Amino acid sequence: QVAPAAGTRFHQDRAKNHPILLSHTNALNSRSELYSPLCECVCSDVCFLSQVKKLVYVYLVRYAEEQQDLALLSISTFQRGLKDPNQLIRASALRVLSSIRVTIIVPIMMLAIKEAASDMSPYVRKTAAHAIPKLHSLDPEQKDQLIEVIEKLLADKTTLVAGSVVMAFEEVCPDRIDLIHKNYRKLCNLLIDVEEWGQVVIINMLTRYARTQFLNPNINESLLEESSEKAFYASDDEEDEDKKAEAATLAKRKPYVMDPDHRLLLRNTKPLLQSRNAAVVMAVAQLYFHLAPKAEVGIIAKALVRLMRSHSEVQYVVLQNVATMTIKRRGMFEPYLKSFYIRSTDPTQIKILKLEVLTNLANETNISTILREFQTYIKSMDKDFVAASIQAIGRCATNIGEVRDTCLNGLVQLLSNRDELVVAESVVVIKKLLQMQPEQHSDIIKHMAKLIDNIQVPMARASILWLIGEYCEHVPKIAPDVLRNMAKTFTNEEDIVKLQIINLAAKLYLTNSKQTKLLTQYVLNLAKYDQNYDIRDRARFIRQLIVPTDKSGALSKYAKKLFLALKPAPVLQSTFKDRDHFQLGSLSHLLNAKAAGYQELPDWPESAPDPSVRNVEVKDSVCARRTVLTGPEESDSGSGSESASASDESGSGSESEESREETESEDEEEDEEKEKKRKKRLDKTKAKKPAEESAERCTIAPSGSIKMYELLHRITGEGLAVEYCFSRQPFSPDPNMVAVQIQFTNNTNSETKNLHIEEPRLQSGMRIREFTEIGLQPSGESVTVVMGIDFCDSTQAANFQLCTHTRKFFVSIQPPVGELMTPVFLTENDFKKEQGKLMGMNEISEKLMLGEKCVNEHVIVERVTATANLSRVPCGSEKECRFAGKTVSSGCLVLVTVPTKEGGGAQLTVNCEKMLIGTLLVKDIMQALSQ
Amino acid sequence: MIHSLFLINNAGDLFLEKHWKSVISRSVCDYFFEAREKAVEPDNVPPVIRTPHHYLINIYREKIFFVSVIQTEVPPLFVIEFLHRVAETFQDYFGECSESTIKDNVVIVYELLEEMLDNGFPLATESNILKELIRPPTILRSMVNTITGSSNVGETLPTGQLSTIPWRRAGVKYTNNEAYFDVVEEIDAILDKSGTTVFAEIQGVIDACVKLSGMPDLTLSFMNPRLLDDVSFHPCVRYKRWESERVISFVPPDGNFQLMSYHISAQNLVAIPVYVKQNISFFETGSSGRLDITVGPKQTMGKTVEGLVVTVHMPKVVLSANLNATQGTYNYDPVTKILVWDIGKLNPQKLPNLKGSLSLQSGAPKPEENPSLNIDLKIQQLAISGRLGSFISVGCDSLPAGPCDKALLLLTLF
């Protein structure tokens, strides 16, 4: 046996065993004997990217499920690999680790993913994104934690990560559309540089996103269409009035203005139509089809036609989608009609799809060329294709009235074709066409009646019989004769023909009972003893219905109505109709059935959701200045005569300017008028502005030493600006809480009501004491409140919602470590005693160089106390500064010592039981002192 | 995404399988075999097959079916495009993508498949990265490998994966810096019986072979870019620049690649370079027919027509052909009913002619329609679109200070 031999030899000569190994991987049986030496091999393999590893990994991953215990042996090696300084090795280790499908290691995987998600290297972060769906499929209970990781990775700014994380998003939490808001613009801008596969996933996701967030760009048009359609059919005055009313509503409706973010998406995806990757092109095409204004959809046609020159599988998929598109937007593909002409070398399935497209494209102007083309197709040797062509002709004839007679004549000529299949198919199609206007075509019916002797295809025979039965009044002489002939051969016919013979008999009995009474009896008797129960049933049913007996039921009176009712002509329509409710390009669309995991394409919203959710907080000063400029204008516009909705619009307009800064703005012409208005307003407010600004200044910095942090920017808050600071006052209701002073400034010109906090989302153990609700805040004024937060001595952020009477804002407060403590007064002796207790692990010491300005003790004290809320401990020596404090929540002592040396050197020592606090504090103080 | 991949040959043998997630039993392929049976021709197998629990997406290439198993919603083109990329990678590595080469290089095939997909999502599909990770086999290396027992897995770390231009590896060095561009144009035309053009279009590709050191940044501009009706690019091309300036600006991959493909609208009449006189007729009696085909040059602009091949799909009733070719060889396959006449170079002085009789199945009615002819030909050194070729100019934005002082750019057209 090879297997044990391979196992023993493995360590000496690994490489030679590759082929053997692989042949085993190839074979389906799991080789448990081989597995254990292999796992050992992984463990002994220090070098991660050695020759053997790849194949061992393949094997390991393949059989981990079956050999769980043994697979676990190798885990520690991968864990070590996760810490490797080389990013490729870290990534590789994570990749293999996450591929091992063993539930026991779920926590290890979770930890590894979290760590890798904040790795320096984008490649490792990409691998982390890849690992997320793996873990999710292994243990769906980790979903919540994984979503957090996804949220974090979505914020990543590198192209490498974007595609993979969106893929993870789609697989784990495709319905959490709220995670996309903040990253939407970034994704749009990155899109072009993301690798091809990522582009496909991102575009598909953004299509769905856009459907939930933006308004239908064709909304006005579709309304127009509707009304024009109505007008077309309308004849009486009532409807005219209706129309007027509608026009009035149309006029009232405010003109559609495309959201700049919507435009951004369309603009950034357009160049990708030029991609070499058919999947990318298709993704963009479906995006345009679903999202773009009607006038712009046309550009995708050219790209899709290009895909028609690709492999036949690609053609197949593209044609399916084109077929759906042509039903809705025929004009788009009309210029490319000839590209859909069929080549003799096309596979049959492609030919049939092309026929479908050609039929959809047919209209009054091009029908003659299309029919000429169809005529050649009928002569093809591919019989399935010929049958499809005949049906296509039939459809053209029903859809376009002008050519109905031409088509019918052509099809009748085909009846004399030598190929039976062609004839049969034509009969079926002619039957459908005749149903539309039977009166004029009794000669065709006669002609077909003659054919019944020659045609053997059951479907065609049945069709002819039905026709004769249905229109027996037009052919009163032939019909009984046909029935006579059929009665003769009844027993040898196929089932569907037999049913039609019975039908014919019944109809003739009702119209011409004199001639056919006996024949009908005969046929019904034959059918009574047929092998097929369906035929027996039918015979019995019809006998009861038409033959008058003493006991005949109430129904027989209506027999004539039942059988000879006017039947509506069949509607020949494409099988692709209404397929567009599936997202184009998707598997579900192709199959015309919902595939597992398919995400419905949502309908456009009635009114646009708030566009400001996509605003990203702008941190640099340049943007901040601009917002100062736009701020007053915005508040002014509201005060004007315009309605509230108008002020909303102008608000979103000014925001979009920021986002559009990098890209050129297209709608400039449109905006010009607005701009003018804006300028006027600015002039008006100029006088007011300086005063306002100065007022703002003093509110921003109420006291010099305390730093203000921004909680809600004026723009995102729609005029409501919120700032907070750590007042360093003890929070009286609960001494274990940090006091946070919050200042609200209402920059709008309306009152803000009911300011309060809702739904705090806190880490376990953290608590929050809300401020009392602010009932009413007049415009232009500031209000300050104090709230308490117990951070549990951690620097984790407290998240909550800030609510006004109209809006909710997600905000978070993250404390710097220095604010988590309160001062403690100690004597020098006490200090030394306490310090003695906090030695070893609890002491963190760092050397540093003091910054240029830290010339004397005074500056050092100032710097340290500004960084952390500590008090100074009196000290004998001038060369040493000591500070003490305790953490707010648990009351652990925090002792800081800074002895200075000659030449600007210093030694910083922090003693604290909480090591995390100590480490963070050292970092902060170091930074403060070395500036 | 992609769950598993099965490779199946024309005879219906499953000769390779690979799973990226949990293992799926081979029996899932039975649905494929069923569809294959039904389709008769391999071309007619539907690319997407639905089974109770899975979806099978398959492509047919080089007489191999690549059947992938999907469990959840995924754009079908995504999978199809990827499978083609796999086939192209095999071709790139082994020279051809056939059952025997795959079987011979099964180790490399597995290594490649492992690197190309991670958990069913494409990871590294650029040939440059892959070649860094797994070296392609050469005769010498495979000999060394069998002797020393080493493998083809690269020893170096795949740094290309980290870069923002994954298609180019770092540290490329050549003693001669060269770049070649080939412009290949195809006309695709449908002619009717009388020889008038029903539909014709020109399709072109620019293949490049770039051997330049360092990180060169090239531009390629056309004198008349308006001629190009529709283009598609390799990902290395900067779309923005094309949109604004109609200049192709790119950092090329190392080695051979297809830079772009384009389409020239059929509005301007395409001149078909040859004409064909054909006369195929079947007699009412005697179950035989006659065939006479002559090919002659039409508008070749003084260039010679090469690689001329005429293919005729005969009706089913034609049993055999007894013909006489004045030039080239002909072959009639009675099973597939295809007559292939390989002419080769077209001599304008002595026009090639194929003449003779066809024998039909006795008793069968004569075919009512004459078969269609497919004609393939090649012309070197001629761009059908005419004006495009001579106006291409290549510029270099940044060329490396390579070992040779003067960077030499050779431009070969066609």
- DSSP result, A691-708: HHHHHHHHHH-SSSSSPP
**Bridge partner residues of B188 (DSSP):** B201
Decide: B391 and B183 in contact? Cβ < 8 Å.
no
**Closest Cα of chain B to A109: distance in Å?**
15
**Closest Cα of chain B to A367: distance in Å?**
16
Yes or no, beta carbons of B106 and A22 under 8 Å apart: yes
Alpha-carbon gap, residue A912 to A839, rounded angstroms: 9
Q: What's the pLDDT score for residue A43?
A: 44
Position A202 confidence tier, pLDDT thresholds 50, 70, 90 = very high
Cα–Cα distance list, B114 to A53, A59, A160 (Å): 12, 11, 19
Nearest to A596 among B72, B153, B233 (CB): B72
Residues of A (196-255) whose Cβ lies below 8 Å from B: 196-197, 200, 204
The pair of structure tokens assigned to A459 is: 């479907």
Q: What's the pLDDT score for residue A697?
A: 37
Where residue A418 falls (left for φ over 0; alpha for ψ -120 to 50; beta otherwise) is alpha
Alpha-carbon gap, residue B414 to B412, rounded angstroms: 7
Using CA of residue B134, residue B139, residue B141, residue B144, what is the dihedral sign? positive
Searching chain B, which residue's CA lies closest to the CA of residue A88?
A: B157
Using CA of residue A624, residue A626, residue A630, residue A632, what is the dihedral sign? positive
Q: What's the pLDDT score for residue A44?
A: 42
CB of A299 within 8 Å of any CB in chain B?
Answer: no
Nearest to A344 among B60, B150, B372 (CB): B372
Nearest to B149 among A15, A271, A302 (CB): A15
Q: What's the pLDDT score for residue B117?
A: 86
A576-603: per-residue pLDDT in tens? Answer: 777 778 888 888 888 888 888 888 888 8
Decide: A328 and A290 in contact? Cβ < 8 Å.
no
Highest mean pLDDT among A44-58, A356-370, A640-654, B160-174: A356-370
Q: How many CA atoms lie within 13 A of B38 on its CB side?
A: 10
Which ipTM did the prediction report?
A: 0.84
B345-356: per-residue pLDDT in tens? Answer: 877 778 888 888
Position A617 confidence tier, pLDDT thresholds 50, 70, 90 = low
A506-522: per-residue pLDDT in tens? Answer: 888 888 778 888 888 88
Amino acid residing at A532: N
For A775, the enclosing helix (H) or strand (E) is: strand A774-777
Alpha-carbon gap, residue A260 to A649, rounded angstroms: 11
Alpha-carbon gap, residue A653 to A647, rounded angstroms: 10
The pair of structure tokens assigned to A640 is: 């004007």
For A678, the enclosing helix (H) or strand (E) is: helix A668-686
Q: What's the pLDDT score for residue B65?
A: 92
The pair of structure tokens assigned to B51 is: 């089974």
Per-residue pLDDT for A870 more than 70? yes
Position B301 confidence tier, pLDDT thresholds 50, 70, 90 = low
Burial of residue A803 (CB within 10 Å: 0-12, 13-18, 19+) is middle
Q: What's the pLDDT score for residue A641?
A: 37
Selection from B38, B400, B83, B69 nearest residue B254 by Cα? B400
Cα–Cα distance list, A752 to A687, A776, A801, B180 (Å): 25, 6, 16, 69
Secondary structure of residue A301 in the 3-state scheme: helix
Q: Which residue has the tokens 């949220």?
A: A151
Decide: A907 and A899 in contact? Cβ < 8 Å.
yes
B21-46 mean pLDDT:
86
Per-residue pLDDT for A11 more than 60? no
Secondary structure of residue A191 in the 3-state scheme: helix
CB of B344 within 8 Å of any CB in chain A?
Answer: no
Position A651 confidence tier, pLDDT thresholds 50, 70, 90 = very low
Highest mean pLDDT among A412-416, A536-540, A664-668, B158-162: A536-540
What angle is formed at CA A850 by the lines to CA A849 and CA A852, rounded to 5 degrees?
120
Residue B37 backbone dihedrals phi, psi, to 5 degrees? -60, -45
Q: What's the pLDDT score for residue B69?
A: 92
> Radius of gyration over alpha carbons of chain A, in Å?
40
Alpha-carbon gap, residue A715 to B286, rounded angstroms: 92
CB of B368 within 8 Å of any CB in chain A?
Answer: yes
The pair of structure tokens assigned to B270 is: 């395409």
Searching chain B, which residue's CA lies closest to the CA of residue A123?
A: B162
DSSP letters along A780-833, please?
T-EEEEEEEEE-TTS-PPEEEEEE-SS-EEEEEE---GGGGEEE----HHHHHH
Do the strands B318-325 and A720-726 form a parallel or antiparallel pair, or are they unpaired? unpaired
Q: Which residue has the tokens 């020239």?
A: B264
pLDDT higher for B400 or A160? A160
Burial of residue A53 (CB within 10 Å: 0-12, 13-18, 19+) is buried
Alpha-carbon gap, residue A387 to A391, rounded angstroms: 6
CB of B336 within 8 Å of any CB in chain A?
Answer: no
Searching chain B, which residue's CA lies closest to the CA of residue A273?
A: B232
For A721, the enclosing helix (H) or strand (E) is: strand A720-726
Q: Which of A287-291, A332-336, A499-503, B162-166 has the lowest mean pLDDT?
A: B162-166
User: Across all residues in chain A, what is the average pLDDT?
Assistant: 75
Q: What's the pLDDT score for residue B397?
A: 43
CB of B369 within 8 Å of any CB in chain A?
Answer: yes
> Radius of gyration over alpha carbons of chain B, in Å?
26
Q: What's the pLDDT score for residue A285?
A: 92
Q: Which residue has the tokens 């196992």?
A: A7
Highest mean pLDDT among A118-132, A798-812, B257-271: A118-132
CB of A317 within 8 Å of any CB in chain B?
Answer: yes
Q: What's the pLDDT score for residue B269?
A: 59
Per-residue pLDDT for A33 more than 50? no
Percent of chain B with pLDDT over 70: 79
Highest mean pLDDT among A384-388, A396-400, B67-71, B171-175: B67-71
Residues, chain A, total?
A: 931
Position A880 confidence tier, pLDDT thresholds 50, 70, 90 = confident
Decide: B136 and B92 in contact? Cβ < 8 Å.
yes
Name chain B contacts of A19, Cβ cutoff 8 Å. Answer: 106-107
Selection from A28, A20, A875 nearest residue A37 by Cα? A20
Count Cβ atoms below 10 Å from residue A774 Cβ, excluding itself: 16
Q: Which of A206-220, A474-488, A620-634, A711-725 has the lowest mean pLDDT?
A: A620-634
Cα–Cα distance list, A821 to A738, A907, B193 (Å): 8, 22, 94
Q: What's the pLDDT score for residue B83?
A: 92
Yes or no, beta carbons of A317 and B158 under 8 Å apart: no
Q: What's the pLDDT score for residue A550?
A: 65
Name chain A contacts of B3, Cβ cutoff 8 Å. Answer: none
Yes or no, beta carbons of B21 and A305 under 8 Å apart: no
pLDDT higher for A380 or B302? A380
Searching chain B, which residue's CA lies closest to the CA of residue A51?
A: B153
The pair of structure tokens assigned to B378 is: 């090649």
B380-387 mean pLDDT:
58
Cα–Cα distance list, A733 to A39, A116, A756, A772, A790 (Å): 60, 42, 18, 13, 12
**Bridge partner residues of B250 (DSSP):** B218, B237
The b/e string for B217-231 (b: 16+ C-beta within 10 A; e otherwise) is bbbbebeebebbbbb
A382-390 mean pLDDT:
85
Per-residue pLDDT for A636 more than 60? no
Percent of chain A with pLDDT over 90: 3
DSSP 8-state class, residue A880: E
A359-368 mean pLDDT:
86
The pair of structure tokens assigned to A142 is: 């980790």
Q: Which residue has the tokens 């209209």?
A: A363
Where residue A690 falls (left for φ over 0; alpha for ψ -120 to 50; beta otherwise) is alpha
Secondary structure of residue A277 in the 3-state scheme: coil
The pair of structure tokens assigned to A533 is: 């129960």
**Bridge partner residues of B262 (DSSP):** B204, B231
Burial of residue A28 (CB within 10 Å: 0-12, 13-18, 19+) is exposed
Position A257 confidence tier, pLDDT thresholds 50, 70, 90 = confident
Cα–Cα distance list, A751 to A627, A773, A783, A809 (Å): 21, 15, 13, 17
Q: What is the dihedral of CA B246, B252, B255, B256, to 10 degrees?
A: -30
Name chain B contacts of A381, Cβ cutoff 8 Å. Answer: 313, 315-316, 369, 371
The pair of structure tokens assigned to B110 is: 């597995």
**Closest Cα of chain B to A613: distance in Å?**
29
pLDDT higher for B155 or B89? B89
Name chain A contacts of B161, Cβ cutoff 8 Å. Answer: 88, 123
Residue A850 backbone dihedrals phi, psi, to 5 degrees? -70, 145
**Bridge partner residues of A801 (DSSP):** A758, A810
H-type helices in B205-359, by residue range?
A: 239-245
Q: What's the pLDDT score for residue A623?
A: 37
Cα–Cα distance list, B122 to A323, A574, A778, B85, B113 (Å): 29, 36, 57, 10, 10
Position A200 confidence tier, pLDDT thresholds 50, 70, 90 = very high
Decide: B63 and B45 in contact? Cβ < 8 Å.
no
CB of B41 within 8 Å of any CB in chain A?
Answer: yes
CB of B35 within 8 Å of any CB in chain A?
Answer: no
Do the strands B197-211 and B255-264 form a parallel or antiparallel pair, or are they unpaired? antiparallel
Name chain A contacts of B231, Cβ cutoff 8 Å. Answer: 274
B288-317 mean pLDDT:
78
B202-237: per-residue pLDDT in tens? Answer: 778 888 888 887 777 887 777 667 777 788 888 888
Q: Which residue has the tokens 């602010």?
A: A774
A292-342: per-residue pLDDT in tens? Answer: 888 888 888 888 888 888 888 999 999 999 988 888 887 888 888 888 888
Position A687 confidence tier, pLDDT thresholds 50, 70, 90 = very low
A759-810: per-residue pLDDT in tens? Answer: 777 777 788 888 877 777 777 778 888 888 888 888 788 888 888 877 788 8
**Closest Cα of chain A to B233: distance in Å?**
5
H-type helices in A45-121, by residue range?
A: 53-63, 68-73, 75-81, 87-99, 106-117
Highest mean pLDDT among A217-221, A270-274, A714-718: A270-274
Q: What's the pLDDT score for residue A193?
A: 84
Q: What's the pLDDT score for residue A648?
A: 40
Q: What's the pLDDT score for residue B164?
A: 65
A493-508: per-residue pLDDT in tens? Answer: 888 888 888 888 888 8
A36-88: per-residue pLDDT in tens? Answer: 555 454 544 434 444 445 556 666 666 666 677 777 777 777 788 788 787 77
**Closest Cα of chain A to B376: distance in Å?**
13
B43-87: per-residue pLDDT in tens? Answer: 888 899 988 888 999 999 888 999 999 988 889 999 999 999 999
Position A438 confidence tier, pLDDT thresholds 50, 70, 90 = low
Q: What's the pLDDT score for residue A626?
A: 37
Per-residue pLDDT for A352 more than 80? yes
Please count the residue pairs, one from chain A and one from chain B, whose beta carbons lie less than 8 angstroms apart. 223
User: Across all residues in chain B, what is the average pLDDT?
Assistant: 76
Decide: B80 and B47 in contact? Cβ < 8 Å.
yes
State the helix-helix crossing angle for A106-117 and A143-154, rounded to 10 degrees: 20
B163-183 mean pLDDT:
74
The pair of structure tokens assigned to B247 is: 């200049």
